Structure 1
Amino acid sequence: MTTEAERWTPPSGRNAQLQAAGRWWDVVRVPRFIGKRALELLGDDAGAVIENPFDGVLYWLIVPGTAAEWDLSRLPSVEVWGATAYIEVPSADCRRGPGVRWRVPPRDRYLTDPAALLAALLTATREALGPREGASR
């Protein structure tokens, strides 16, 4: 069965496009200093990742609604954006340059498994910021 998420493709051409979250994917917005470590932890399990060097953030794309139960108090620098958010999505082949680009380009899949991403973010956050109060170890 084909879902809306499976039909999405990044923009073609030379320019990035502003696209709405919540239909094909939700966005997990992570500061670069935490996101770089999360990428290392995920390895080949990372889906496509957008880098916005102007804001110093990385964006992971996940199935809409799958992070609704995340306890973001354990991830104080992480935000999950859904249907009310728009992000700049680079063209399919934009991997360098001064603007928004693919840190991990879309391959056979562009979505990251939310459970794997959550585990990587919890570890990366704990390493960068120390343990959070009330967080299980």
Structure 2
Amino acid sequence: MSAPSAVAPTGTEMMQHLVESAGAAQQPAADMADLAEVIRTLLAVEARRDTRVRLGGNLFDVVITSSGPEAYAAVALMDAIQGGCGPVIEDPESGWLYWLVPPGSADRWAPHAHAVCLSAPHTITLPSLNRTMPPGPYWHRPSASDRLVPTGPLREALAQLRPEPTPHADLEARLGITF
């Protein structure tokens, strides 16, 4: 005796099942909420426009140091360690270097005598990709899509080379936060 045959669902029934199991169509994925903002930002930078971006999220955090001779020596040391330092922005007006480090670094960054690490809710202005000299902030080490500056080696380089003056007091006055 053969077993009763099951009736195969129609194409319409299968499609309805897929639609119902997919969930609400109007709900964006949680990790994609900032995607449009990120794309607009990257397109603006690529289009050679300075662009203000929010730190943290999936992009990067920033370590801030002075931009004196010791900091330049740290860039050279990171060049050797990384085979070309990750992205660093120089702001001649403030006398600072902004080292772009992996997102989440600020959460793990212990107080440092010569550097401060910031994340959200703070912002930074990225210079256009073709700006490699003053006036204004420029790419001391251009941004490469495949790397950021690793915090461990950077932290050690800054502790060894001790760039002065430190940014702590200036940032406390500007941002109203203590380090």
TM-score of Structure 1 vs Structure 2, range by shorter chain: 0.7 to 0.9
Cα displacement (A) at 1:58? 0.5
Q: What's 1:21 paired with?
A: 55
Output the TM-score relative to the length of structure 2: 0.59
Q: What's 1:133 paired with?
A: none
RMSD (CA atoms): 2.6
Q: What's 1:32 paired with?
A: 67
Output the TM-score relative to the length of structure 1: 0.76
Distance across 2 between alignment mates of 1:122 and 1:35: 11
Which of 61, 74, 78 aligns to 2:100? It is 61
| Equivalent residues, number | 122
Cα displacement (A) at 1:12? 2.2
Superposition pairs of residues 99-110 of structure 1, within 5 angstroms: 99-110=136-147
Letter in 1 for 2:99: W
Letter in 2 for 1:112: V
* Kept in 1: contact 2:92–2:134 (CA 8 A): no
Higher relative contact order (CA 8 A, sep 6+): 1
Bigger-Rg structure (1/2):
2
* Kept in 1: contact 2:109–2:117 (CA 8 A): no
Q: Runs of at least 4 residues of structure 1 off by over 3 A?
A: 7-10
> Structure 2, unaligned stretches of length 5 or more?
1-30, 33-37, 166-179
* Kept in 1: contact 2:67–2:97 (CA 8 A): yes
Residue 126 of structure 2 is aligned to residue 89 of structure 1: yes
Superposition pairs of residues 69-80 of structure 1, within 5 angstroms: 69-72=108-111, 75-80=112-117
> Structure 1, unaligned stretches of length 5 or more?
130-137
